[in-house]
Structure formats: structure tokens, C-alpha cells
Amino acid sequence: MTRTPSPYAPPVCLTIAGSDSGGGAGIQADLKTMEAHDTFATSVVTSVTSQNTQGVTGAFTLPVAEIQSQYDAVLSDFDVRAVKTGMLGTAEVIDAVTERVADLGASLVVDPVMVATSGDRLLEAEGEAAYEKLIAEATLVTPNTDEATVLTGVEIETTEDAIDAGEQLVEMGANAALVKGGHLSGDTVVDVLVTDEVTRFTHQRVETEATHGSGCTLSSAIAARLAHGDSLADAVSAGVSFMTRAVRYPLDVGQGPGAVHHLVSLRNQAAREETAEAVEGIVQQFVEADVRALVPEIGMNVVGATPFAESVSETAAVEGRITRTLTGVKPNRGVRFGASSHVARFLLGAREAVPELRFAVNCRFDEDVEAALTELEWSLAEFNRSVEPEDLKTEEGNTMGWGARRAFSGDGDTPVAVIDRGEVGKEPIVKLVAEDPDTLAARTLDLLSVLEA
């Protein structure tokens, strides 16, 4: 008996860009990112580059007729919902692409690729002037500050300068401009979206040189969201969030700094079930071992973060916590994502310093527990709520992130346990952390054993 097929029809995207033999940028980055956003990705290769994570050693631009032939083949067969352009290389290629996309009827994201992350030039000087007509066809143009300066003549040193450049790009005919702020100095990166108004997207800078393919990946993510029918503002917001995570968790490949993680959100989503099962396994061990002696008055919770978690909603925990009973301990309800606030925020704060940490549990803390911790000779840290800035105390949950950052900010061994001595109305607690569920369970049971000895 044959099986009945069940076709699926995702929206189709098209990337017009150069090939990166190193796989981190260009066509390769575009295809990975578009597919990660549940679109079917098609391509037009404009040039073939010899490059890797260390730089570009060669580039060959395809004949215009071959580029046009690829474009016509794709458009004659597919209902393309969004197009992005990347490395075009020459004025002749830019003109040819502009001619083809003029009557496209789909969203067009123009990433004006001029220089590789490594600093190698990817566009002939005469090609810079040719971009003006292509920009006039764009739904969105996404230059970094260096590219925006070349295109507009605005020297960009501040966010306000970036806004000025974005306004000039809109005056050239683009519906919108996203001027990326990653090349500006400061702990905070501000990307500005200029339409008939200005929207700022602010995120903390990640101290890494592994940004190979970042521009390609961002523009492809935005194009994919536009293909799904998102508004421009929503598509840009989703793209910036996606890019922030891809840079935070880069791929450690090659001899250079590495590349952004194009599939990071997909991999993170795929790990949710495994993470929840790991938390359930820890909880079951705690029930079987009867950890009553370690359960705080407020209850105990076990939290597991997905490998690339950035928010509480990406942490699994016991809904209603684990509480003491007359005969042992019992989870009030099951494990679900977003069920913990305080322990989850603490774990996320710890991950800012040690991203490998994925699991945490809160335990009772008093003199007896402190003595047991000392006997175990673990690496310990603590934070003092009395020195927390007042402005952080005004929002629920901020203390946990602040405390974790203080506890994990020092040099030396990563703390196994972090002591919070509490304050008026706040119970003293110790939190144990680990990179994997087995280690967290073992550490908790070791503490219980010493405490009850």
C-alpha cells in the first residue's frame, strides 16, 4: 500500500548574492537563515569568492547574462514573496539586478555589501554610485554605519548621525532604512529603523569577533519574516532579536574568530523537550531522596535553560514549586516553560558570565547548611541585597539577575553555590548551579548527605 503525500507550501524567498566558500556569509548564510525561518530559499549567485573565517583570498564575478538567467529561472517557476540582495560586486551587476527587481511586486531587502567582516573589499569603487537606483526600489536597505557613510556622505559617530543617514536613504527612494550600530563604540548597540518615524532597537554588545556573516544573516532573517507577511517593524524586530542570539552563541569553526550561528533559534527550539525532561528527572530524584531538609519556606524549584536561552520563557521549571509534605516532598504541578521567575532570572544572570550553565535549584540556607557547604569545599560566592541599587529594586525579579551578575563577575573557579543571605521579608537562600542535570542532582544530594550526617 502506498502512502498519501502531504505537501507543505512555505513562502518562497530569493537571495541574490555572492557565494562564500567558508559557509559563514553570503549565499550560504542566506539559505541557512531563510530555511531556519520556515521559508523555501532560492538563490542567484552573483560571484564566487574564495574565503573563510580569516579573510577573502579571491573573487570571481559571474557574467551578467548568467546572473540574469538564474533570476529568470527562479521567477518563472516560484511565487517569490521576498528578495534580498547581498554582494553584487560591480556596477554592471547592480544595474542588471535593479532592472530585474524594478517590477518585482515582492518585498525587497537591500544589504549594500561593500566590505567583508575581515576588512576585505567586496565592491568595486564605481559600484558604490550604482546603488542609488537599487536603493530606490527597496522595501528596506540595511547598511552598517560604514556603508551608510559611503552611500550618503554622513560621517556617523553617534546614533543621531545614523538617523540622519537613514533619513537620506529614505529620501533616495527606499521605503525604510535600518542603519546598524554595531560598528559604533559603547556597551550598548543601537540599530535605528527610519521610515516616516524613527524606531530604536537597543541590545547589549557581545564581546566577540565571531561576527562573520552577521549582516547577511540579519537581512535574510528580515526578508524571511516579510515573506511570512509580517509588518516591516515586526520583521525588523524579529530579525534583530534573531541576530543578537546568533552573535551571542557563535559557531567555533575555522582558524579565525568563527561565524554567527545561523540555526541557533532552531536548535534552541528543538532542545525544549529534552530540557523539560531533564528537569523532570531531577525532580524525581529529589522526591525519591526526600530532600525535605533542603526545601526553603518559599518552596524549592529546579530550573533548566535551553542551550541558547535568552529569556524566562525559555527555561523549564516546576509550576507551583516543590513543597514539603508530612512524608517527603512533592511537586505541586508539572514542569512547564516560564514557570519560574526568581530562580530562572538568577540562572539567566549567571549565564551572562558562564553561558555553559544550564541548571539551577534553590535550597534552604542557615548555619547548618553553611557548615555543610564549607565541609564540601565547593567554590562559593554570595551577594548582599543591601548594596543593590534602589532603581533595580523597583521591578520584580531584577534582584536575581543583579545578584547573579555580582556572584559570577569575579575571576577564578565558577561558583558551585551562591548564597543570598536575604533581608527583611526575604528568606535566606542558597542556589546551586551546574552545566548538566546529573551534576546538579548529584551536588544537591551531596549537600543533603553532609547536612544529615
Question: In this structure, are residues 59 and 50 in contact, taking their beta carbons and an 8 Å threshold?
Answer: yes
CA–CA separation, 280 and 364 (whole Å): 21
Buried/exposed 57-68: b ≥16 CB within 10 Å, e otherwise: eebebbeeeebb
Give the model confidence (pLDDT) of 141-157 as tens digits: 999 998 998 899 999 99
CA dihedral 219, 26, 158, 258 (to 10 degrees): 120
Q: Is the pLDDT of residue 388 over 70?
A: no
Q: List Cα–Cα distances, 44 to 13, 34, 182, 343, in angstroms.
A: 11, 14, 28, 48
pLDDT of residue 373: 95
| Residue 408 pLDDT | 84
Stronger pLDDT, 421 or 14, i.e. the higher one? 14
> Can you give the C-alpha Rg of the chain in angstroms?
26
Q: Give the H or E element holding residue 159.
A: helix 159-171
Domains of the chain: 12-269 (3.40.1190.20), 271-452 (3.40.225.10)
The confidence score (pLDDT) of residue 204 equals: 87
In 233-342, which ranges are E strands?
302-305, 315-318, 322-324, 329-331, 335-337
% of the chain exceeding 70 in pLDDT? 94
Reduce the DSSP state of residue 371 to 3 states and report it: helix
| E strands in 164-208 | 177-179, 188-194, 198-204
pLDDT digits (tens, 9 = 90+) for 411-434: 778 999 999 987 777 889 999 999
pTM: 0.91
Q: Residue 300's closest CA among 314, 290, 311, 315?
A: 290
Asked whether the predicted pLDDT for residue 360 surpasses 70, the reply is: yes
Q: What is the pLDDT of residues 39-55, one digit of tens each?
A: 999 999 999 999 998 88
| Closest to 407 (Cα-Cα) out of 431, 371, 436, 442 | 431
Q: Is residue 393 very low, low, confident or very high in pLDDT (cuts 50, 70, 90)?
A: low
